């Protein structure tokens, strides 16, 4: 596996080594010892999630209260998504910035996001299947959203799908009503950067 830290501290792109033959492909998509060496800490697992999305579905920006927060290790086992990490940690040198990784069923990369980072993705193909390993269980009272189209963050969302057709964004009612980053900062509900 190859680990590359993104411009957002605490976010890593993980590219597995794939072994293929006439039967198909085998690869390790998560391995605790090499992950802990790269990230400087183990990933404690408390929950695994799976979402299946049509092309144009946009999920996020989501984050959890810290502590305890929720670290995520995300991959796309079918289809393709643009997966985005957003630094929401007050005091971080990259606060309000984002970085993205293409997760798909070709390169089979994964994205790790430490606690305090926001997470979002846009599906680039029908049936895009994303699986998440999470460090804590889902708690709706501690989960929040920020507008994925907030110009202050400025995520450059794709406009065409994997097959070249135009994307028409679909969001949940909760994500459509999400506040701006400025509103969330004013409310004082973001985590602090611990360095």
2-5 vs 11-15, strand pairing mode: antiparallel
List residues with catalytic annotation. Answer: 62, 132
- Under a CB-based contact definition with an 8 Å cutoff, are residues 130 and 51 in contact? yes
Token output for 67: 């502590």
Round to whole Å and give the CA distance between 101 and 121.
Answer: 9
Helix (H/G/I), strand (E/B), else coil: 37: helix
Token output for 165: 């057709």
- Under a CB-based contact definition with an 8 Å cutoff, are residues 99 and 8 in contact? yes
- Under a CB-based contact definition with an 8 Å cutoff, are residues 167 and 159 in contact? yes
- Under a CB-based contact definition with an 8 Å cutoff, are residues 162 and 192 in contact? no
Round to whole Å and give the CA distance between 79 and 37.
Answer: 29
């Amino acid at each position: 596996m190859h680990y590359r830290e993104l411009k957002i501290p605490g976010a890593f792109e993980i590219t597995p080594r794939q072994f293929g033959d006439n039967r198909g492909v085998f690869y390790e998509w998560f391995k605790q010892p090499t992950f802990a060496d790269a990230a400087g800490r183990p990933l404690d697992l408390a929950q695994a999630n799976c979402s299946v999305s049509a092309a144009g579905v946009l999920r996020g920006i989501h984050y959890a209260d810290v502590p305890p927060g929720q670290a995520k290790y995300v991959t796309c086992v079918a289809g393709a998504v643009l997966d985005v990490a957003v630094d929401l940690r007050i005091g971080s040198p990259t606060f309000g910035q984002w970085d993205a990784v293409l997760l798909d069923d070709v390169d089979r990369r994964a994205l790790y996001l430490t606690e305090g980072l926001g997470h979002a993705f846009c599906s680039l193909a029908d049936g895009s299947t994303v699986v998440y390993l999470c460090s804590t269980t889902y708690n709706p009272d501690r989960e929040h959203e920020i507008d994925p189209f907030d110009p202050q963050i400025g995520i450059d969302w794709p406009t065409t799908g994997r097959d070249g057709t135009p994307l028409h964004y679909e969001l949940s009612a909760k994500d459509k009503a999400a506040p701006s980053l400025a509103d969330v900062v004013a409310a004082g509900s973001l985590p602090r950067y611990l360095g």
